[in-house]
Structure formats: structure tokens, C-alpha cells
Structure 1
């Protein structure tokens, strides 16, 4: 679970492609959720904590946080 999320983050940083962050959000959540209920739980906890921090600290705005959370849920629910 947590490793899948971290791997997606590293891949996103390595790709360094503007606008691709939603793909990596979905992929990390998808990969974690494929490990079963514990992986899905870990993905949700990590995603919620990350988005809470980003919305409070980074100044990226509510719309970006909402879009990130949609991508996170999409991935956890099996979206490709």
C-alpha cells in the first residue's frame, strides 16, 4: 500500500511532466488498492493526509485538492 503510493510519487517526480499528477494520484491509489482492503485503507489514509497538508500549506487551492481526491478515489475504485 504505502510503497505503491511512494513509487507513484517517485515516478511522477522522475517524469516531471506538467499536468500528469492526476494520473500518478490514480495509479498510486490503484496499485495500493489491488493489494486488498489494507492497501485500499492505506491509500485513503495517505491520500487524505497528503491532500490536507497540501491544501493547508502549499496554497494550491480547493479546486486542485478536489481534483486530486477525485483521481485518488478513481484509482482506488479500479479506474484506469
Structure 2
């Protein structure tokens, strides 16, 4: 876990409303580059390469520290608190 205490006990919930894209991007008429899933609540949001960086915004709004890639074939996780892959 590379020293991150935030990811060990996370539940990895189902995505909110079986999301297939970033709901905030849909409202804004934007297209996400890649998707991330919050491992605390299941919220789906766009990555930092997307125009509005909704995954990072979700962390700042909720304090939920760990997201994982929601892209097919990817399973890595990012801890915003520790600024590291876990």
C-alpha cells in the first residue's frame, strides 16, 4: 500500500447509479478524458486531464481520500491525502 493508511479498509462500493460517465461533465456539456471512482461512496468523476477535474473536486468537497481508475483493465488507486499511488 506504499504507506497510505487511507486505502486498507475502504469498501469499494458499486458506482453511483451505474454511471458510465462523469455526471458533472454531462451537466456542463463536457467530455471527460478518463473516469475515476471514489472508494468511499462510489461517485464517478473525471480525471485531472479533463477540463473540470471533478474527481479532485469531489475529494476537496467530501474529504474522501482514495479514488481508483474506472477505466476498463485498470485497477490502480490514488490517495489524495498522501498524493501517491496505492
TM-score normalised to structure 1 length: 0.35
Structure number with higher strand proportion: 2
TM-score normalised to structure 2 length: 0.33
